[in-house]
Amino acid sequence: MIVNNIRILLMLGLSPREKKAIFMASLGSILEFYDFIIFGFMTNYFIKNIFGNDSLNNNNILILYSIFIIGYIMHPLGMHLYSKIAPVQDLRLVDGGITLMLIVSTLTMGLIPTHMPIVWWMPLIILGVARIIQGLACGAEMQAELDHIKIKIPQNMSFAALGILAGNEIGQFLAIVVNRILNYWFSPNQLQDYAWRLPFIFGAILALLIYLIRLKFAERITEEHCYRNIIPVYKLFNYYPSQIFIAIGLAGIRGALTLLYLIFIPFTMYHFLHYSLLMISRIIFITSIIGGIVAYLINRYCSYHNAPRQLLVCVILLLPSVILWMLSSHYDKFVYPSILALAILSSCFTFLVQRVMAGLFPSAVRLAGMSFANQQGYIFCAGLMPLISIGLAHLLLKSNIHFSHYLVFYIGTAFYLLILVVLNIYGLYRLPDYANYTDIHQIRQRILTSKVIN
């Protein structure tokens, strides 16, 4: 959780230089997760403006999310390019180039032309190119964060994971707030016509602001680090394959639940239950606040040693909670409590997954391992969730034409989450073979001791 991660960082006794380096690195993760969530919120408007209709069409959603995933597939290439270019070029130029790519690609998505009957494919091409550029820039940005941390705070490098994960949560919450403001200030017609573009314009401004903050306040990397060897973070697969797979699974189920809560649930409330966009944004905003408060209280009784057991309980509870939400949506009864249950689980996954994941990697590669696994989990589990759910829906429709559309959607989603639940139960079963929380527990005891003394 945001508050807990920041609180721990403040209690670790880090120097002002180290705190500033972690803060600067976390800014990029804020932007990345803001883009991830806001794209999902704006799916309906993309469909209307790109395909020229607002009907619920599986093919349109499939095409749109396929383009979305292309950007994430570009991340490893962006990491590789940064590892080759950064050691031999002025880092101010490299960082400026990454920022320019982020600004141009994000602005392009916000200013994409509406449906053109003659060249209907043109907006899709523009969106695809923008996502490729954005994906390359985000991959390079992630590698740059890890590179800067490695140079500036080599002794306490693993603690930077707390800052970057806090940045992820801030970016996610920022997207929720922006979506809430949009739905409060603009009518549905205004949102459909032009206001849906504003979050992307804001994202471009945010990218520029982050660059200016780093340019003004970030500590420069000296010439002694030129021609250094930068190993792309994805090569951790070669050294810690089992740990990476378990961590990706944990991050993936957290990401899938986040996507379900922030994207799928609003989607179904709008298309199946016909709730207004204002009501949907209010439900998501309120349940996210309450869920965060409840999770914060639960977090007080969580330690690194009991976190795996608590996470296992949450994984087991996920499927019943999803089924409860499906039934409540089907009958349009108890919708608020069912969504609140998923909001609480989502907040609990946030702090439990990072605690369990931390013990999978030695301190020397903890930052890189957690950051990479977290990102890939969101890509391959959460990002692919719409594609797989829609694919399963098509198979069900072919097997039984009497299935209603919303029933097929729910069944496809539940089946995909069932797969993730089974994989994560197995991963948690194998966790003792690879995880070691001794050094983390010692750090925690040191923090608690210093707190008592003070």
The pLDDT assigned to 360 comes to 86
In the numeric block, which tokens belong to residue 422? Answer: 């089974």
Tell me: do 156 and 291 sit in the same domain.
Answer: no
Q: Which of 381, 379, 342 is nearest to 262 (CA)?
A: 342
- What's the whole-number mean pLDDT along residues 247-257? 90
pLDDT: which is higher, 9 or 97:
97
Q: Is the pLDDT of residue 306 over 80?
A: yes
Q: What is the DSSP string of 166-235?
A: HHHHHHHHHHHHHHHHHHHHS-HHHHHHTGGGHHHHHHHHHHHHHHHHHHHHSPPPPGGGTT-----GGG
What's the angle, vertex CA 281, arms to CA 344 and CA 270, rounded to 5?
105
Tell me: do 109 and 196 sit in the same domain.
Answer: yes
Amino acid at 388: I
Tell me: do 236 and 202 sit in the same domain.
Answer: no
Give the separation between CA 22 and CA 148, rounded to whole angstroms.
9
CB 134 within 8 A of CB 72: no
Q: What is the DSSP string of 326-373?
A: HHHHHHT-SHHHHHHHHHHHHHHHHHHHHHHHHTTS-GGGHHHHHHHH
Which of the residue ranges 22-31, 322-331, 422-431 would you say has the lowest mean pLDDT? Answer: 22-31
Which of the residue ranges 15-24, 99-108, 113-122, 240-249 would you say has the lowest mean pLDDT? Answer: 113-122
User: Model confidence over 106-147: pLDDT tens digits?
Assistant: 899 888 877 666 666 788 888 889 989 998 998 888 888 877
- Domain range for 267 is 232-454
Tell me: do 204 and 237 sit in the same domain.
Answer: no
The pLDDT assigned to 452 comes to 45
In the numeric block, which tokens belong to residue 308? Answer: 């795996």
Which of the residue ranges 60-69, 354-363, 404-413, 417-426 would you say has the lowest mean pLDDT? Answer: 404-413
Is 115 a domain residue? yes
Is 171 a domain residue? no
Sign of CA dihedral 259, 145, 307, 283: negative
Tell me: do 220 and 113 sit in the same domain.
Answer: yes
Tell me: do 248 and 161 sit in the same domain.
Answer: no
Q: Which of 189, 166, 200, 155 is nearest to 42 (CA)?
A: 200
Tell me: do 239 and 206 sit in the same domain.
Answer: no
CB 87 within 8 A of CB 226: yes
- What's the whole-number mean pLDDT along residues 157-171? 74
CB 409 within 8 A of CB 268: yes
Q: Which residue has the tokens 């016509």?
A: 193
Which whole-number Å values give the CA distances from 436 to 4, 8, 296, 366, in the listed order?
21, 20, 25, 12
Is 27 a domain residue? yes
**Residue 42: exposure state from Cβ atoms within 10 A (0-12, 13-18, ≥19):** buried
Is 454 a domain residue? yes
Give the separation between CA 212 and CA 199, rounded to whole angstroms.
20
Tell me: do 442 and 359 sit in the same domain.
Answer: yes
Structural domains in the chain (count): 2
242 three-class SS? helix
CATH number at 374 reads 1.20.1250.20
Tell me: do 215 and 314 sit in the same domain.
Answer: no
Q: Is the pLDDT of residue 167 over 70?
A: yes
pLDDT bucket at 319, cuts 50 / 70 / 90? very high
Give the separation between CA 72 and CA 136, rounded to whole angstroms.
8
Give the separation between CA 361 and CA 366, rounded to whole angstroms.
5
Q: Is the pLDDT of residue 1 over 70?
A: no
Which of the residue ranges 113-122, 177-186, 189-198 would you say has the lowest mean pLDDT? Answer: 113-122
Q: What number of residues does the chain have?
A: 454
Q: Give the domain-ending residue among 228, 251, 280.
A: 228
pLDDT bucket at 3, cuts 50 / 70 / 90? low
Is 279 a domain residue? yes
Prediction pTM value:
0.80
CB 127 within 8 A of CB 112: yes
Q: What is the DSSP string of 318-332?
A: HHHHHHHHHHHHHHT
In the numeric block, which tokens belong to residue 373? Answer: 């696994």
The pLDDT assigned to 147 comes to 78
CB 28 within 8 A of CB 78: no
Task: Give the rounded distance of the alpha carbon of 16 from its chain centre.
Answer: 28
Give the separation between CA 190 and CA 185, rounded to whole angstroms.
10
Q: Give the highest mean pLDDT range of 29-43, 229-243, 252-266, 337-351.
A: 337-351
Is 335 a domain residue? yes
Q: Which of 91, 45, 83 is nearest to 64 (CA)?
A: 45
Tell me: do 290 and 436 sit in the same domain.
Answer: yes
Is 177 a domain residue? no
Q: Which of 253, 256, 282 is nearest to 269 (CA)?
A: 282
CB 427 within 8 A of CB 250: yes
Residues 6+ apart with CB under 8 A from 398: none
